Amino acid sequence: MVNLSRFDLNLLRVFDAVFEWNGVSTAARHLNLSQPAVSHALAKLRAELSDPLFVRQGNRLVPTPVANTIAVPVREALRRIETALASTTTFAPEHSTREFRIGIRATGETPRFSSLFTRVRDKAPNVRLASISFRRRDVYRLLASGECDVIIDIDLPHDDRLCRERLTSEPMAVVARFDHPAVRGGLSLETYLAADHVVASPRPRGAGLEDTVLGQAGLQRRIVARCQHAFTACQIVAGTDLFCTLPRRHAESIAQAWPLAMFDLPITVPANPVTVYWHRDSSTDPGNVWLRAQIARG
């Protein structure tokens, strides 16, 4: 058993950094410490825990089973300490050098992240923002460990450990090349169904909400391509007669970069709700509160 009364908790910060960055030198840069200082701290921690914790494979330090076992609890503990200390202070955005890590999926990054960065940059010029890709099954873990400060996504199943705030509901729109011959008089459902479609989704398969609504009416569109990113899909649209259906705000952002026309979706589809999530322990963190206020502005 480790005797906490004489255990140096700073060793856990070093462990967490080495685990995240897979190396001593990179961890040292992020901790603003010298490489020998990080190596010395890691050696002390190895002795305390009677385990090598990391073994070298090529240019990387690979965690041992013991390191993998303690990594998430250590990160969660560090995060809880940081949150507790942060709640006793105020957050001064004009002086802060904090980095906020925002979980956001590819379909939401284009319309939201750039505008959020502009707002944050105006009020907090030294604050850094990082857009983090995530899997929905990892939402709680990412927020609990502090790997993400907030996550922006659609409505997810309720979890008492998380807090949430509905931001907006986004209608869908259809994009086509600006000189598409079939939509000069507007986009009808008949034209929509007669066309070929490209889908933008990080999922390898699965129907979109518009496909579900069409299926309920006994209709089906013809999908001939599937892309991970909407920019790729719209690049295809700009050079073909294909259509792409996207959240309207996303479509508006991309239409500024490509020669595209945008139309209302010719079927009634429930608007996709957009929600921001955070861990309940972050509810009183002044920095997290400030960040959520910036996100809520648009």
Task: Using alpha carbons, select from 169, 120, 188 the residue that is nearest to residue 272.
Answer: 169
Task: Using alpha carbons, select from 35, 42, 33, 54 the residue that is nearest to residue 8.
Answer: 42
205: left (phi over 0), alpha (psi -120 to 50) or beta: beta
Using a pLDDT cut of 70, give the percent of the chain over it: 97
Strands 244-247 and 222-227 turn out to be unpaired
Q: Where are the beta strands (DSSP E) in 159-217?
A: 162-170, 172-177, 196-200
Global model pTM greater than 0.75: no
For 64-78, what is each residue's pLDDT tens digit? 999 999 998 898 888
In which order are the strands placed within the sheet that holds 260-264?
Answer: 244-247, 172-177, 260-264
d(Cα 124, Cα 121) in Å, to the nearest integer? Answer: 5
Strands 99-104 and 128-132 turn out to be parallel
Lowest mean pLDDT: which of 24-28, 54-58, 210-214, 255-259? Answer: 255-259
Task: Using alpha carbons, select from 19, 8, 227, 248 the residue that is nearest to residue 106.
Answer: 227
Residue 81's pLDDT is 81
Q: What is the DSSP letter of 22?
A: T
For 190-214, what is each residue's pLDDT tens digit? 999 999 999 988 777 777 889 999 9
Alpha carbon separation from 202 to 174, 189, 231, 252 (Å, rounded): 19, 26, 12, 20
- In sequence order, what DSSP letters do the residues of 247-262 get, joined into one string? EHHHHHHHHTTTTEEE
Helix (H, G, I), strand (E, B) or coil at 64: coil
Q: What is the DSSP letter of 121?
A: H
Within the chain, how many helices (H) and strands (E) appear?
Answer: 11, 12
The encoded tokens of residue 136 equal 């929905």
